[in-house]
Amino acid sequence: MTHYIASRLATTIPVLLLISLFVFSIMHLLPGDPAMLILQGQAASTPEQIAALREELGLNKPIYVQYGLFLKGALQGDLGRSVQFKQPVMSVIMERLPSTAQLTAAAMVFAIVIGVGLGILAAIKQNTWIDSLSMVLSVTGLTMPIFYIGLVLILFFSVKLHWFPIVGGSPLQRLVLPALTLGFVSSGIIARLVRSSLLEVLRQDHIVTARAKGLPERTVIYRHAMKNMMIPVLTIIGLQIGGMLSGAVITETVFNRPGLGRLVVQAILWKDFPLAQGTILFTATVYLLINLLVDLSFVWFDPRVRVT
Amino acid sequence: MASQDNAGNRFDAFAKQVARRRFLRDAALLGVATPLAERLLAARGRVALAAPRAQSEPKGGSISIVMTGDEPKLLDAQVDPFDSAAMASGWLSDMLVHKEKDGTFTPWLATSWKTSDDGRVWTFTLRQDVKFHDGTPLDAAAVKANFDRIADPKTQSGQASAMLGSTFPKSEAVDAATFQLTFDQAYAPTLDTLSQGFFPIWSPTALQKYGNDEFERHLIGTGPWQLQEYQPADHYTLVKNPNYNWAPKTAKHQGPPYLDTITLRWIQEPTTSVATLRSGEADLVLSFPAANVAAFRDNDAYKVLSAPLTGSPALFVMNTANPPLDDVHVRQALEHAINQSEFVKVLYKGEAIAARGVMYPATPCYWKGAESVYPFDSAKAKSLLEAAGWQAGGDGILQKDGKPLKLDVVNAFNADLSPLIQAQLKAAGVDANVELVPGPVQLERAIKGDFDLIFQHLAYSDPSVLDLLYNSKNLQPGGWSWTRYKDPKLDQLLSESTATIDQTKRCQLLTQAQQIIVDQALVLPIYGRNAVAVMASKVTDFDLGPRATIDGWLYDTYVQ
């Protein structure tokens, strides 16, 4: 078990370093002077302004020194200053993080509840109309564009029924429709995986043994089948969270949420390099850490891991 | 198969258990959920149509305003280049002068002004009774501090610093009540520029106290409302300034504004923006997407306000530096290929207007003659091209010396334009390769010259827009002169018109300039739009000023 944990931790660190290197070089690999590109994005660029920005960003230092400073800053939580917002990048990220975190968490809850629920239902009612209906729903979630789901939910639940707000109301009220939109997509994937995973597990010998021992069906499913089923499902859930960060961009745009997804797209479009770099590095780190946690959680779910 | 049957039997028993358990659980949940749901659904509910306000009740109310489009990064239009930032800055602070819809100027923070004989020096006498929200009194030193701030490269002013001519004027506080601006060269649009929300006067005490960056979260000015709350990328809350007493005399009332609270949001996605009006979360939606207006026009629950724009309409700029557009006959031929009426029918569900001149008709000094120079005539376009040496090719595309007549067209902001422009050019024998790019990329390609035709739409308050767009000295990063056409006579006409304070003489020069621009076929005008605002019918006395994307007249507004 210690070996497993140690090896997982050990691989995370080089990946993080690689990401930081990649993110750092974005600004320098693009053709043109970074300061000029940044200011053009703000519709202002006299030579004095460009020179001032170059000094501020430290662009006149040798490149390895710049990387060193960047890394040192990042480790201390200083990701530079956003050119457009005129504030530390970390502050801007921290302002937007709660919105995205809430959205992703709520969407994940919806996704798991709906996905696992539909998947189990489909598996135990295999080949009945319930199975088909569940799979139709999951495919709908998989294939319909997120913005379309979002707009349909808005038009139906906000405009027609006035049940949930679009942009106003309390944070909880405001979270329902976007979380449902984002979660619906993931739930499709989870449902299908849960169904096939559960079906496969239920065919296995240890299940037959459990039943032969006379255990009630409920124990068979929940205690014996579920744990084994959950390993691939958990991996997918971990990956889904990463996917959600990108789906969050569209959801945040449709519902006008002040989140990280919209932030990074705008930063890139408006060439606010410090902000774009900082947000990408931050998001990548979070994603890595979540997957690390998912992997570490196998220690609990999968006893085979404990002996490695 | 056999195992499946067995599994089926087993599942049935289990399923029944699950079903019953599920039912019980659901019932229990419902018991819990119902009050929870009630709480969730209750507050943000329907639009309650309030009883009409009795005559004796004071006018007031709260309003929720939504601006459609990208949110400006800062509400401080001295720094941020967005028009919507200028509009909001105008609610938080006042400007030196106020522009009326008829083009005249009314005293505001300045009670009077005069120019020197050569037009280079402007002297403003300031009101004595104005106070900033933090109590600091307004004086010439305060005004000077603001102009210095705009001129300072450290402020990185995106728009304001470029609006007072190529060299920012020097400012001076002659005495406590007299402020002076000295230009290198007379600048005709001075009053018009100073009246825009890009020149709000902020409190120098606050600027000093907070420093440039932190000030953006405080924005202390002289205006009818003050900034109470700022939720980044979510909303701003403005509250009434009870001490406000210096509205322009043309306003419908004096003293504090009627509205108690303003909640201000930007929504990027047009459908969402419209939805908030329908759901009652927004009372007033600005920059309303034209495609959705029709549904609100006949609806008594809403009012539609449509105001003309000024400046340069939506058009395609021609890159005169590259063949084949370096040939004026080719350019003139293309003018005949454009059918503006077809665009108007398709775009914005008929809310667009055809543009046949190089400025919006409501712009001062507009030359109406431009409209009849190039009537739509596909056949004529083709014959002009043939006269310029382009022969009919096999696939309907003209060619010369074995090379087909191909153009790279860069489109932005409005995807619907692409198929139309491609088809109309094709009908004239041109193979148009149309790309749709985002705003920042459009600006890049324009400056680099990486295009044959590129979309441009610059709403602007003053006819000096022509100087911005067609004077060859303005081809530089951040500049708007993209045609690459160099004509000393045109440059001279444009520069001189910007330095001519006398309106009549100025219009004469600008008419001559427009004649050259149209004759040389430097751009393909396509369409124009109105600025549209839609509001709930309870919103009363809101208006858009002469610069409809910048002037939001909220001071006399109240909610019934």
Per-residue pLDDT tens digits for B221-255: 999 999 999 887 789 999 999 999 999 999 999 99
State yes or no: cis peptide before B242, omega within 30 of 0: no
Alpha helix positions (H), B411-470: 417-427, 439-448, 465-470
Cβ separation of B212 and A95 shorter than 8 Å?
no
Kindly tell me if the per-residue pLDDT of B16 is higher than 50: no
Q: Which of B523, B513, B517, B559 is nearest to B539 (CA)?
A: B559
pLDDT for res B42: 39
Chain B: give the shortest CA distance to residue A96, in Å.
8
- A10 touching chain B per CB within 8 A: no
Kindly tell me if the per-residue pLDDT of B272 is higher than 90: yes
pLDDT for res A42: 56
A270-279, B9-18, B146-155, B259-268, range with the lowest pLDDT = B9-18
Among candidates B41, B161, B275 on the partner chain, residue whose Cβ is nearest the Cβ of A154: B275
Pairing relation of β-strands B62-68 and B284-286? parallel
Cβ separation of A162 and B11 shorter than 8 Å?
no
pLDDT for res A40: 65
Tell me the pLDDT of chain B averaged across its residues: 87
Q: What digits encode the pLDDT tens for the residues B105-124?
A: 999 999 999 999 999 999 99
pLDDT for res B285: 97
- B159 touching chain A per CB within 8 A: yes
pLDDT for res B17: 47
First to last CA, chain A: 5
What pLDDT tens digit does each residue of chain A (308 aa) get? 778 888 888 888 899 889 888 888 877 777 667 777 777 655 556 677 778 778 877 888 888 888 888 888 888 888 888 887 878 999 999 999 999 999 999 999 999 999 988 888 888 888 899 889 888 988 888 889 998 999 999 999 999 999 999 988 888 999 999 999 999 988 988 999 899 888 888 888 888 888 888 888 878 877 778 777 877 888 888 788 877 877 888 999 899 999 998 898 888 877 788 898 899 999 888 888 888 888 888 777 777 766 65
For an interface test with A, which of B21, B38, B231, B281 has the most A Cβ atoms less than 10 Å from its Cβ?
Answer: B281
For an interface test with B, which of A167, A173, A217, A272 has the most B Cβ atoms less than 10 Å from its Cβ?
Answer: A167
Chain B: give the shortest CA distance to residue A139, in Å.
24
Cβ separation of B15 and A86 shorter than 8 Å?
no
CB A255 within 8 A of CB A57: no
Compare B290 and B488 and report the one with higher pLDDT.
B488
- B265 touching chain A per CB within 8 A: yes
For an interface test with B, which of A256, A266, A272, A275 has the most B Cβ atoms less than 10 Å from its Cβ?
Answer: A256
Q: Searching chain B, which residue's CA lies closest to the CA of residue A168?
A: B281
Cβ separation of A269 and B440 shorter than 8 Å?
yes
pTM (global) more than 0.95: no
CA angle B506, B515, B354 (to 5 degrees): 100
Chain A: give the shortest CA distance to residue B142, in Å.
23
- B340 touching chain A per CB within 8 A: no
Q: Searching chain A, which residue's CA lies closest to the CA of residue B47?
A: A162
CA distance to B455, B527, B537, per residue, from B306 (Å)? 24, 16, 15
Q: Report CA torsion sign: A31, A32, A33, A34.
A: negative
For residue A180, which residues of chain B lie inside 8 Å, CB to CB?
Answer: none
Q: What digits encode the pLDDT tens for the residues B145-159?
A: 999 999 998 888 878
Q: What's the gap between Cα A97 and its chain centre?
A: 12
pLDDT for res B176: 94
- B271 touching chain A per CB within 8 A: yes
Q: Give the CB-side neighbour count of residue B292, counting CA atoms within 13 A.
A: 19
Q: Searching chain A, which residue's CA lies closest to the CA of residue B76?
A: A85
Kindly tell me if the per-residue pLDDT of B329 is higher than 90: yes
pLDDT for res A178: 95
Kindly tell me if the per-residue pLDDT of B1 is higher than 50: no
Q: What digits encode the pLDDT tens for the residues B445-476?
A: 898 899 999 999 988 889 999 998 999 988 87
Q: pLDDT-derived band of residue B73, with 50, 70 and 90 as boundaries? A: confident
What is the arithmetic mean of pLDDT over B373-381?
A: 93
From CA A288, how far away is CA A285, in angstroms rounded?
5
Alpha helix positions (H), A2-88: 2-29, 34-41, 47-57, 63-75
pLDDT for res A246: 77
Q: What digits encode the pLDDT tens for the residues A152-179?
A: 999 999 999 999 999 888 889 999 999 9
Kindly tell me if the per-residue pLDDT of B188 is higher than 50: yes
Kindly tell me if the per-residue pLDDT of B175 is higher than 50: yes
- B443 touching chain A per CB within 8 A: yes
Scanning A145-204 for CB atoms below 8 A from B yields: 147, 151, 154-155, 158-159, 162-170, 172-173, 176, 202-203
Kindly tell me if the per-residue pLDDT of B24 is higher than 60: no
Q: B414 is written with which tokens?
A: 């409005």
pLDDT for res B35: 43
